[in-house]
DNA sequence: TAATTGTTCTTCGTATACACTTTGTCCGGA
DNA sequence: TCCGGACAAAGTGTATACGAAGAACAATTA
């Protein structure tokens, strides 16, 4: 009986560096660490209650992911997304999510479609309850689920990382728009279910156009021009 | 005069971890470390003549980039690209490079076009000299240059990383095909110069179709199905 | 004021230690 | 011969300490 427990614990073992990385990411996305803020190793180590080594490893990955900028011999600061990169991000995301929608349409099983429909149902429900946070969360889940259904690991991992950044930049306005985007989501899932790749791609593009327009508008007043 | 030197030296400073990462990447791409090979920290530290810390930091980034797989408490092994991921990689690359071509066409200055033409000239020359390695190198440079001209940092960084993986998987057959692809490159640069986004995108897609067909063929006999 | 110097903070890299897992080996028993 | 457990070896994960070097900032001096 003890072996079972140990096995599970062993498999479950998450290296501290990964926990730190996850915590760092969410702290940045949630705005606990603001763009431009300096992140000294000692401070992070203290914040997360670990030694400097795991922190350093997490920082390198966070840099590769674009969440922090590291200047040699000067340390890490939280990256500052500019409005220019917003346009750029959406340009890339448009292509990738369109591809994901097409692949998903071509490969989705009945079970896949059912899981998407279930998410739509939960979304409708949460919208009625005015639970915006939950709606936004389901929104994310839906997108990630479509990526997963696309069955392309490269696409999935790249788009996922991009999606995190989008959330970071637009964490302010995302919740308000979420309910509006739900109608577009239904279109998208319908298209995926139909198995028509062209139609799915079009639906994804329509959705992203609307999202980028709304997000951009929001960014004008929110994050500012720089 | 001294200030200039100091500034340059300061900026030039490459942390060991970055040097290790670069060396590790090229060692993997060049096949010095084969897929599935175990990479113990001590060994890498000795190979590169550094301590464990820089090696560990480089390994984490290499993992994020997909060059190695790290299993907790068991260490890192060189990733094994399967033929399935080849198709997936090209599917993503197609979209991204098409976007890059379009943006490049829309934004290229006269100087940009000139630099592309210069690369084409050098390529023609190297082809005549039968210097296949040089041709392959110029091939890479051309693609990266177009990404740079696109002016989209996200696109650039993602496509660059993808490009590295393509080189890794097809390092065997890339050199042979390089001369053939040159004609397609000329089409592409012509399209970029014309400023016609649609045309540039089409040229990029044509090029990638040919490249993926050739690469796939080569992989059948080379790397094998798994 | 402007240039220089000195101090302090921090990163970068090395080295060391140790707990804990995983893996491999060996050995006795069925 | 084959199996299962004890035991040893290898390697990772984490913490800690230390020195060198750079960067930032304050103090001092011309």
Q: Mind listing the domains of chain A with CATH numbers?
A: 2-78 (1.10.10.10), 83-221 (1.20.120.530)
- A vs B: CB pairs below 8 A: 82
> Which member of A10, A60, A99 has the closest CB to residue B60?
A60
pLDDT (mean) for A13-17:
91
pLDDT (mean) for A155-182:
83
Query: Residue B71: which nucleotide is closest by CA–C1'?
Result: D12
Side by side, which strands form the sheet with A68-71? A38-39, A75-78, A68-71
The pLDDT of residue B4 is above 60: no
pLDDT (mean) for A123-152:
92
Chain B residues with CB inside 8 Å of A88's CB?
152-155
Query: Residue A59: which nucleotide is closest by CA–C1'?
Result: C11
Residues contacting nucleic strand D by the 7 Å CB criterion are A 15-17, 50-54, 72-74; B 6, 9-10, 13, 39-42, 56, 70, 72-76
Burial of B71 (0-12, 13-18, 19+ CB in 10 A): exposed
Cα-to-chain-centroid distance, residue A12: 24
Residue to mutate among B84, B95, B149, with most A CBs inside 10 A, is: B95
- The spacing between the Cα labelled CA in B68 and the C1' in D10, in angstroms, equals 21
Is residue B133 less than 8 Å (CB to CB) from chain A?
no
pLDDT (mean) for B121-126:
93
pTM value is: 0.88
- Least confident range from A41-55, A60-74, A79-93, B7-21: namely B7-21
Rounded Cα distance, B84 and B88, in Å? 7
Q: What percent of chain B has pLDDT over 70?
A: 88
Grade residue B169 by pLDDT with cuts at 50, 70 and 90.
confident
pLDDT (mean) for A148-155:
96
Whole-number Cα distances in Å, A46 to A41, A55, A71, A225, B40: 9, 10, 21, 34, 29
- Least confident range from A43-57, A173-187, A208-222, B95-109: namely A208-222
Q: How far is B204 from chain A (nearest CA, A)?
A: 15
- Least confident range from A18-32, A64-78, A138-152, B211-225: namely B211-225
Is residue A14 less than 8 Å (CB to CB) from chain B?
yes
Residues 6+ apart with CB under 8 A from A149: A103, A104, A107, A108, A112, A116, A192
Grade residue A96 by pLDDT with cuts at 50, 70 and 90.
very high
Report pLDDT digits (tens) over B65-83: 999 999 999 999 999 987 7
pLDDT (mean) for A76-105:
93
Is residue A57 less than 8 Å (CB to CB) from chain B?
yes
Helix axis angle, A153-169 relative to A16-29, nearest 10°? 50
Chain A residues with CB inside 8 Å of B158's CB?
92, 158
Grade residue B180 by pLDDT with cuts at 50, 70 and 90.
confident
Is residue A53 less than 8 Å (CB to CB) from chain B?
yes
What residue spans of A30-173 are helical by DSSP H? 41-48, 52-65, 83-107, 110-128, 132-150, 153-169
How high is the pLDDT of residue A181? 83
The pLDDT of residue A76 is above 90: yes
What is the rounded average pLDDT for all residues in chain A? 88
How high is the pLDDT of residue B7? 37
Is residue B57 less than 8 Å (CB to CB) from chain A?
yes
Find the residue in B nearest to A62 (Cα): B61
Report pLDDT digits (tens) over B6-30: 333 344 678 999 999 999 999 999 9
Torsion of CA B110, B116, B117, B119, to 10 degrees: 150
Q: Is B39 in contact with B9 (CB distance < 8 Å)? A: no
Residue A70: φ, ψ to 5°:
-115, 125
More confident residue, A88 or A85: A88
How high is the pLDDT of residue A5? 33
pLDDT (mean) for B136-158:
95
Over its C-alpha atoms, chain A yields an Rg (Å, rounded) of 19
> Which member of B13, B85, B103 has the closest CB to residue A72?
B13
Residues contacting nucleic strand C by the 7 Å CB criterion are A 6, 9-11, 13, 39-42, 56, 70, 72-76; B 15-17, 49-54, 73-74
Q: Is B178 in contact with B135 (CB distance < 8 Å)? A: yes
How high is the pLDDT of residue A10? 40
How high is the pLDDT of residue A226? 33
């Amino acid at each position: 009986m003890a072996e079972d427990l140990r096995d599970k614990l062993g498999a479950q073992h998450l290296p501290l560096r990964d926990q730190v990385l996850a915590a760092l990411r969410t702290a940045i996305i949630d705005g606990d660490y603001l763009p431009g803020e300096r992140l000294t190793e000692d401070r992070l180590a203290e914040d997360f209650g670990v030694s400097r080594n795991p922190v350093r490893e997490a920082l390198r990955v966070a840099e590769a992911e674009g969440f922090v900028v590291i200047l040699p011999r000067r340390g890490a600061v939280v990256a500052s997304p500019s409005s220019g990169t917003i346009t750029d991000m959406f340009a890339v995301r448009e292509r990738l999510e369109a591809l994901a929608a097409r692949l998903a349409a071509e490969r989705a099983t009945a079970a896949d479609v059912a899981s998407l429909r279930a998410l739509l149902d939960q979304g409708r429900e949460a919208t009625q309850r005015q639970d915006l946070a939950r709606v936004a969360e389901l929104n994310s889940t839906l997108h990630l689920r479509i990526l997963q259904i696309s069955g392309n690991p490269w696409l999935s991992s790249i788009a996922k990382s991009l999606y995190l950044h989008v959330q970071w930049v637009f964490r302010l306005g995302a919740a308000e728009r979420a309910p509006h985007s739900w109608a577009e989501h239904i279109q998208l899932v319908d298209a995926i279910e139909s198995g028509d790749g062209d139609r799915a791609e079009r639906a994804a593009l329509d959705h992203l156009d609307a999202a980028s327009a709304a997000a951009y508008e929001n960014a004008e007043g929110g994050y500012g021009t720089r």
